A and B are shown apart, each in its own frame.
Chain A
């Protein structure tokens, strides 16, 4: 018997989708093995998670709530990853967005009606500024952006710690590292009975289609796709790769910053240390599942968000740590990228 790999000439869209779904299923099965190793019945674990997520309106609404920050970050990442710029700094950019927005909410003297729009603008700028450092170093000097964005994540967390442990600590919060609550006019409205802050959700949907348009219908979109295919060829053909990789990284930082505004103004109503329980890292997965297509990425964000909510449920009812979400993320990602190779090839078994 011989196993042979043959290169496929044409791959249909449906084959790609089928392989991606199959690899997610395989990943979930492998995590089931991990459950068995840790002495948990995997069927019980998955049924607890599933019924918790989809068995109540609260569970479903929470999936939408968490898909807002994940979707916003993932959208920006898709733009950057299309150009093969590996921004891993969404988490830090989200935190900076929240920090900038909190400054507007608590310490600016803007007129009340302008507060919320200013918070969104400030958050966008906060994330964008934070992405500028790795963006510049990457595009100008080719410094590894993975490392720089990750270091920026750690620095933003320390900055957050600093602000919450002293200068910005609230007056009525005893010694907790949190700020005062935002005034009413600095809070986003929610759909009654849920935590869905719909202004951010609407913004997410609008941005999804805006980026879809930019990617498919503008010169800029074509340029970054060309850069992703072959950077050197793109440069030779006259594309300003320096400017473009700077722009994709900064926009993706700005979008993550908006996610931070949503979390601070729509969920917590204050700045807390755990403003992002790793949304920026989880956002890598939908970008990859969706093949950087904004609309598919948005749908995939709902899936990853469901994993997030499921992870919370597993934490409470199965006593598993929050790290479970990272396990889900890591395993799914490994299966997804490994499957890409198999999509391009056909496995043939010859019986001789």
Chain B
């Protein structure tokens, strides 16, 4: 395998947890709810995925468990920010702390244990042998799943009645309410759906990207996904591109390492890039017509 293909292979792997989390947040934000708790949901999803795979030796079960725990944790955010109209920024932060905390407490006995059962690549015949682009066809189940899901989510959002309801709720909840859409229900569903994907995103890290469990193994990817949501312009298809771009930074770190740049400084690269990109995206967005969902972050109170 040539260097370009192997780098691409690595970038796609690194981008998958980012893509899953970003997709989840796109739907949550399109419905008007800002969930800053992704880092915590991913952490607890990563531990749950690892734990269930370790004890039951079943990958389907462990993915299901990770998605379920993601739904459970995000339901706390849904309750506080939708039902209790709480401050969404702070509620999301609380969720992040809670998820990081619970995974650290529950996982302390499992740190560093070897996980033999991991997500394995499924080679797609013929396509996988295509030079360079073949890297997309020699991946594991969740990679294929997340790519197909992006397309499906784009279609559902823009081409179906329910998708348009989500957009309506995020843009103008009182008009949506007047037209008979259950604003709170749509927001609940979108927040819980986002939680499920973010739980899976975490499980991808512990089952495929860095198999095993280490405290804090999400390493800020949950926060980066929030920046990527802005960068994707809340569009699931563009989500693939931005996630891939950020995934390649992970791979780039391996390339740059032999050139004598200290590892501890190289590790900052994704964070620095996130700040720069987030700033550039926000500034450009302000000048264009694309903007965040109008009702993002504001609770809906029926007058």
Contacts and interface: CB of A to CB of B under 8 A. Distances in A.
Residue among B85, B94, B278 with max Cβ neighbours from chain A (10 Å): B94
A326 B98 contact: yes
Interface stretch (B145-153, B195-203, B222-230): B222-230
Interface string A321-342: 1111111111101100110111
Contacts of B102: 34, 323, 327
Interface in A136-160: 137, 141-144, 146-148, 150-152, 154-155, 158-159
Nearest to B106: A38
B202 to A, nearest CB: 15
B134 interface: no
Contacts of B98: 326-327, 329-331, 334
Given A154-B220, A323-B102, A326-B100, A334 B271 contact: no
Given A141-B282, A150-B223, A341-B85, A324 B264 contact: no
Interface stretch (A51-59, A67-75, A161-169, A236-244): A161-169
B104 A341 contact: no
B198 to A, nearest CB: 16
A161 B89 CA distance: 30
A196 B268 CA distance: 34
B265 interface: yes
B103 interface: yes
Interface in B181-223: 215, 219-220, 223
A133 B276 CA distance: 11
A279 interface: no
A324 B215 CA distance: 13
Contacts of B223: 147, 150-151
B58 interface: no
B106 A133 contact: no
B84 A338 contact: yes
A215 interface: no
A340 B279 contact: no
A298 to B, nearest CB: 20
B84 A154 contact: no
Grouping DSSP codes into helix (H, G, I), strand (E, B) and loop, the A interface class, with mixed when no group exceeds half, is helix
Contact of A326 (B36, B76, B97): B97
B66 to A, nearest CB: 18
Interface in B264-282: 264-265, 267-268, 271-272, 274-275, 278-279, 282
A38 B87 CA distance: 30
B233 interface: no
B3 interface: no
Contact of A158 (B85, B230, B265, B279): B265
Interface residues of A, number: 47
A130 interface: no
A284 B93 contact: yes
Grouping DSSP codes into helix (H, G, I), strand (E, B) and loop, the B interface class, with mixed when no group exceeds half, is helix
A285 to B, nearest CB: 9
A323 B286 contact: no
A320 interface: yes
A111 B96 CA distance: 45
A231 B275 CA distance: 24
A86 interface: yes
Nearest to A331: B98
Nearest to A34: B102
Residue among A86, A137, A162, A334 with max Cβ neighbours from chain B (10 Å): A334
Given A154-B268, A159-B268, A334 B105 contact: no
Contacts of A34: 102
A247 to B, nearest CB: 20
Contact of B101 (A141, A330, A338): A330
A292 interface: no
Interface string A35-65: 0001000000000000000000000000000
A162 B264 contact: yes
B46 interface: no
A88 interface: yes
B94 A334 contact: yes
A152 B223 CA distance: 12
Contacts of B286: 141-142
A319 B105 CA distance: 9
B105 A146 contact: no
Contacts of B85: 341
A313 to B, nearest CB: 14
7 contacts: A147-B227, A166-B262, A323-B100, A323-B215, A325-B101, A327-B97, A341-B84
Nearest 8 CB-CB pairings of A with B? A323-B104, A326-B101, A330-B98, A327-B101, A333-B94, A330-B97, A321-B108, A161-B264
